[in-house]
Amino acid sequence: MSEILIRPAERADLPLLKDFEQAIIKTERPFNNCLKADHFCYYDIGALIDSSRSTVMVAESDGKIIGSGYARIRDSKAHLVHDQHIYLGFMYVAESVRGQGINQLVINALIAWGQERGFRDFYLEAYAQNAPALSAYKKIGFEPSIVELKLSL
């Protein structure tokens, strides 16, 4: 693989990014039996690209997009010491290039975007059963915080 470029996503990237989103949903479906069976979207990727309160970054190699992620400014819960934080999501790396540090490059770029705006607190979510994702995020320095528990009767 040649050099990896991390760059902000453009509207022209939307068709492929929407495919990435569906791949994420397919990967996460076994972890959550409450996901709708029909086609749905987690994100409004176009709005994330357009907003001044968010950015979508892509990893590109040989002119081909191979990974993605977004950072968005969110209001924090009232009991926290910070009023706002950066929330990360839409983490995806093409299967053929996983395990090569691409996710870390994307996350580092998203963190840099947040730091440039004065943020020091970064959050993301992952399914507790998704061991590869948890391992990757812990390797970067993220630590488990709150565990959400679910009961479906």
| pLDDT tens per residue, range 26-72 | 999 999 999 999 999 999 999 999 999 999 999 999 999 999 999 99
User: What values do phi and psi take at 75, rounded to 5?
Assistant: -70, 140
Please state, in angstroms and rounded to a whole number, the distance separating the CA atoms of residues 14 and 70.
13
Please state, in angstroms and rounded to a whole number, the distance separating the CA atoms of residues 138 and 52.
28
Helix (H/G/I), strand (E/B), else coil: 152: coil
The domain spans of the chain are 4-140
Alpha-carbon torsion angle 16, 18, 21, 27, nearest 10: -70
> In the CATH hierarchy, which fold is given to the domain comprising 4-140?
Aminopeptidase (3.40.630)
| pLDDT, tens only, 120-140 | 999 999 999 999 999 999 999
